[in-house]
């Protein structure tokens, strides 16, 4: 039903002359347009209170025309304008179902990490989620993926060396659940592909795209991180602290053990080594709600049954935990400020390299290669990226390369086209994307005024550059031994308020989390500026970015420059958190919206 507001009666008995209305309405519409323009510019500059003030005035002025006209025609009753305004404000057609709407708990978002990724758990006011954004609920049923062959096999493969054409052999897209995907696809020895969504759905597909089985974590919680394959099981860690072992042949659970109370929403990667699975968890869970909720302890468990072995508390929390090892009874990792640790597999600290800037933050991770540890972080109040390198044995600092943009992903290591026989690093750079406009408003303003910004949300979908600053981004290659720059490619700035796909899907995802059809999902992906790059056997570097495109780069002539013909791009759709997955003759990418594209080779 429409929200009841009581009778709307005119306070003055006499009508306002039409000629006076026409005269003054034009004036007030001009003022309203100016106020809307001010509000839009203040959204870009994040001046929230000014946005609210000017938006309310803009919405108020046209409806106040009657009141102003009344005053101009003799001041018969100044209350007319107030009543018309009130009717216009509340008469938005907002509907509520008091029997079905969830209870309002006093907040709209619970930020998980405001500095790193600002992932949130949403609790919108019931009349917003069940009224203004109401639509038929999504059905929970099997058969929710459909392999869809988009390109025949005759298309050129990107990994054949000289060609950079990006055309997939097949692709599939989730059709019903609209789950967010941040986890990199996993590939087994038979080239089967395993996909896990944040909502807790896992799929096993053949290399040709046939669905073999599905699994759903259901009440055990969402899966924020990346799964792991170990012999005949796939291991998942849920937000509710369950470690689950899934039989990769049947898709059934072999065992599930609750190992902790809670896990943060970071895209962590478990480390499997020496019979252990090493994960990052939230321990202890904060007693007082905090703006930044992050994993604060490493935990080692038995791969066989999930039983506890040891734990370790780093000096700073981790984010997107991703450790590296050479199976020598030790491993390295970094915390969210860029501090680097080497631990033994029995939990003893071997060395620690203090971060260059303890107040800064990053969502990147370390990479280990040839006795060197490559760490990526940021420094400064207006953060700029740092690539810093350490000796694996004793943690000695070897060199640092300062970067022109923020660095929020790990490097890739390999040989590049144009630099044959030399090991290089590839790194993508750029500021991590923000929240969709409607989400930023919901975080900053009282719930009751959020519907006023619905038109701005629609405008942000059609004219995203109006609501965002230009953010620089680039890809560069350096010598792995010395840090000398091999080439640098500056890209067109990113000019949208959020990653591709987030603004377009935020309301549908949020609605599904609230009406119970998809409770484990999250409304926004909030990926990094780019996913971790990969380098194929032909020396092509592939870097997925937040604009939904994968960029393929090759310095074929070795001149230290990337010319226009040496960079190709392929649009998948939404932004990327998941790195591409590679196996001999197979290349798989998946974006935040769950579109999987697979490229097959000989």
| Least confident window among 42-56, 73-87, 110-124 | 73-87
Nearest CA to 162 out of 534, 568, 485 is that of 568
**Alpha-carbon dihedral sign for residues 47, 49, 51, 57:** negative
pLDDT at 82 over 70: no
Q: DSSP string covering 44-103, please? A: HTT-HHHHHHHHHHHHHHHHTHHHHHHHHTT-S-THHHHHHHHHHHH-S--B--TTTSPP
This prediction's pTM: 0.75
Is 38 or 500 the better-scoring residue by pLDDT?
500
Which three-class secondary structure state does DSSP give residue 204?
Answer: strand
For 573-590, the pLDDT digits (tens) are 999 999 999 999 999 999
Report d(CA 575, CA 573) in Å as an integer: 7
Mean pLDDT computed over every residue of the chain: 77
Per-residue b or e along 297-306, where b marks 16 or more CB atoms closer than 10 Å to that residue's CB: bbbbbebeeb
For 453-508, the pLDDT digits (tens) are 888 899 999 999 999 999 999 999 999 999 999 999 999 999 999 999 999 999 99
pLDDT at 544 over 90: yes
As a whole number, mean pLDDT of residues 430-436 equals 94
Q: Walk across the sheet containing 549-553 and list its strands.
A: 534-535, 541-544, 549-553, 567-571
Q: What is the pLDDT of residue 54?
A: 52
Indicate the pairing of strand 581-583 with strand 586-590.
antiparallel
Start-to-end CA distance of the chain, whole Å, equals 61
Report d(CA 166, CA 147) in Å as an integer: 19
Contact 323, 333 (CB under 8 A): yes
Task: Please work out, in degrees rounded to the nearest 5, the angle formed at the alpha carbon of residue 532 by the alpha carbons of 530 and 533.
Answer: 100
Among 76-80, 148-152, 478-482, top mean pLDDT goes to 478-482
Q: What is the pLDDT of residue 491?
A: 96
Q: What is the pLDDT of residue 558?
A: 93
**What would you measure as the largest C-alpha separation in the chain, in angstroms?**
90
The answer to whether the peptide bond before residue 510 is cis (omega within 30 degrees of 0) is no
| Least confident window among 14-23, 132-141, 287-296 | 132-141
Contact 172, 596 (CB under 8 A): yes
Report d(CA 35, CA 21) in Å as an integer: 21
As a whole number, mean pLDDT of residues 524-544 equals 95
As a whole number, mean pLDDT of residues 83-90 equals 25
Share of the chain above pLDDT 70, in %: 71
> Using 50, 70 and 90 to split pLDDT, how confident is the model at 171?
confident
> Using 50, 70 and 90 to split pLDDT, how confident is the model at 320?
very high
| Least confident window among 131-145, 247-261, 288-302 | 131-145
pLDDT at 180 over 70: yes
For 258-314, the pLDDT digits (tens) are 999 999 999 999 999 999 999 999 998 887 766 667 899 999 999 999 999 999 999
Contact 573, 548 (CB under 8 A): yes
* C-alpha distance from residue 482 to each of 114, 122, 217, 352, 392 (Å): 35, 46, 46, 22, 15
C-beta neighbour count of 7 within 10 angstroms: 5
* C-alpha distance from residue 516 to each of 51, 130, 132, 235 (Å): 33, 12, 17, 26
For the chain, give every residue range classified as CATH 2.40.128.630: 185-225+227-321
Which three-class secondary structure state does DSSP give residue 128?
Answer: helix
Q: What is the pLDDT of residue 50?
A: 54
pLDDT at 113 over 50: no
Among all chains, which residue has been given the structure tokens 């000796």? 391
For 336-363, the pLDDT digits (tens) are 999 999 999 999 999 999 887 777 788 8
Per-residue b or e along 525-560, where b marks 16 or more CB atoms closer than 10 Å to that residue's CB: bbbbbbbbbbbbebbbbbbbbbbbbbbbbbbbeeee
Q: Quote the tokens at residue 563.
A: 């010319």
Report d(CA 290, CA 554) in Å as an integer: 45
pLDDT at 77 over 50: no
Contact 279, 296 (CB under 8 A): no
Is 69 or 386 the better-scoring residue by pLDDT?
386
Q: Where are the beta strands (DSSP E) in 354-395?
A: 367-369, 372-379, 384-391
Strand partners, 322: 269
Per-residue b or e along 315-328, where b marks 16 or more CB atoms closer than 10 Å to that residue's CB: ebbbbbbbbbbeee
Q: What is the pLDDT of residue 158?
A: 33
CATH number of 185-225+227-321: 2.40.128.630
Q: What is the pLDDT of residue 230?
A: 95
The helix or strand, by DSSP H or E, that contains position 426, with its residue range, turns out to be strand 423-430
Q: What is the pLDDT of residue 370?
A: 94
Which three-class secondary structure state does DSSP give residue 34?
Answer: helix
Q: What is the pLDDT of residue 444?
A: 86
Which three-class secondary structure state does DSSP give residue 255?
Answer: strand
Q: What is the pLDDT of residue 288?
A: 74
Q: What is the pLDDT of residue 34?
A: 58
pLDDT at 119 over 90: no
């Amino acid at each position: 039903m429409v929200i009841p507001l009581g009778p709307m009666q005119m306070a003055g008995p006499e009508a306002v002359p039409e000629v006076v209305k026409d005269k003054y309405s034009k004036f007030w519409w001009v003022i309203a347009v100016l106020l809307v323009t001010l509000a839009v510019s203040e959204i870009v500059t994040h001046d929230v209170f000014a946005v609210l003030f000017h938006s309310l005035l803009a919405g108020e002025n046209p409806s106040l025309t009657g009141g102003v006209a009344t005053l101009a025609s003799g001041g018969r009753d100044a209350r007319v304008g107030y009543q018309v305004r009130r009717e216009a404000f509340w008469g938005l057609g907002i509907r509520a179902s008091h029997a079905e709407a969830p209870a309002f708990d006093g907040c709209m978002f619970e930020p998980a990490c405001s500095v790193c990724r600002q992932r949130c758990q949403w609790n919108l006011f019931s009349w917003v989620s069940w009224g203004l954004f109401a639509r038929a609920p999504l059905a929970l049923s099997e058969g929710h993926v459909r392999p869809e062959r988009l390109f025949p096999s005759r298309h050129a493969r990107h990994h054949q060396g000289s060609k950079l054409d990006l055309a997939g052999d097949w692709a599939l897209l989730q059709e019903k659940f609209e789950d967010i995907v941040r986890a990199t696809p996993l590939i087994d020895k038979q080239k089967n592909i395993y996909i896990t969504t944040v909502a807790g759905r896992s799929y096993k597909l053949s290399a040709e795209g046939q669905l073999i089985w599905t699994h759903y974590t259901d009440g055990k919680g969402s899966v924020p991180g990346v799964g792991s394959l170990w012999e005949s099981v796939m291991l998942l860690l849920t937000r509710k602290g369950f470690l689950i072992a899934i039989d990769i042949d049947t898709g059934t659970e072999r065992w599930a053990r609750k190992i902790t109370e809670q896990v943060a929403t970071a895209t962590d990667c478990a480390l499997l080594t020496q019979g252990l699975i090493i994960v990052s968890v939230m321990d202890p869970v904060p007693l007082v709600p905090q703006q930044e909720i992050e994993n604060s302890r490493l935990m080692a468990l038995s791969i066989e049954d999930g039983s506890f072995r040891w734990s370790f508390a780093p000096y700073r929390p981790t984010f997107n935990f991703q450790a590296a090892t050479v199976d020598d009874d030790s491993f390295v990792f970094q915390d969210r400020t860029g501090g680097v640790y080497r631990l033994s597999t029995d939990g003893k600290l071997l060395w620690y390299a203090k971060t260059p800037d303890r107040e800064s933050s990053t969502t990147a991770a370390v990479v280990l290669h040839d006795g060197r540890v490559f760490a990526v972080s940021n420094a400064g109040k207006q953060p700029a990226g740092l690539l810093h390198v350490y000796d694996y044995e004793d943690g000695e600092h070897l060199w640092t390369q300062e970067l022109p943009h923020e660095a929020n992903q790990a490097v890739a290591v390999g040989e590049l086209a144009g630099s044959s026989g030399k090991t290089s690093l590839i790194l993508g750079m750029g500021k991590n994307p923000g929240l969709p406009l409607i989400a930023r408003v919901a975080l900053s303003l009282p719930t009751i005024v959020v519907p006023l910004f619905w038109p701005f949300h629609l405008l942000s979908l059609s004219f995203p550059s109006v609501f965002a600053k230009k953010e620089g981004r680039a890809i560069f290659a350096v010598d792995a031994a010395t840090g000398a720059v091999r080439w640098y490619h500056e890209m067109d700035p990113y000019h949208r308020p959020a990653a591709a796909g987030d603004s377009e899907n935020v309301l549908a995802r949020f609605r599904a989390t609230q009406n119970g059809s998809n409770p484990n999902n999250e409304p926004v992906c909030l990926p990094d500026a780019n996913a971790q790059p990969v380098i194929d056997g032909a020396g092509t570097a592939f870097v997925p970015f937040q604009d939904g495109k994968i960029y393929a780069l090759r310095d074929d002539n070795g001149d230290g420059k990337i010319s226009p013909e040496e960079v190709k791009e392929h649009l998948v759709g939404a932004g990327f958190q998941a790195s591409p997955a590679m196996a001999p003759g197979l290349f798989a990418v998946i974006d935040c919206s769950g579109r999987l594209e697979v490229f097959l080779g000989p």
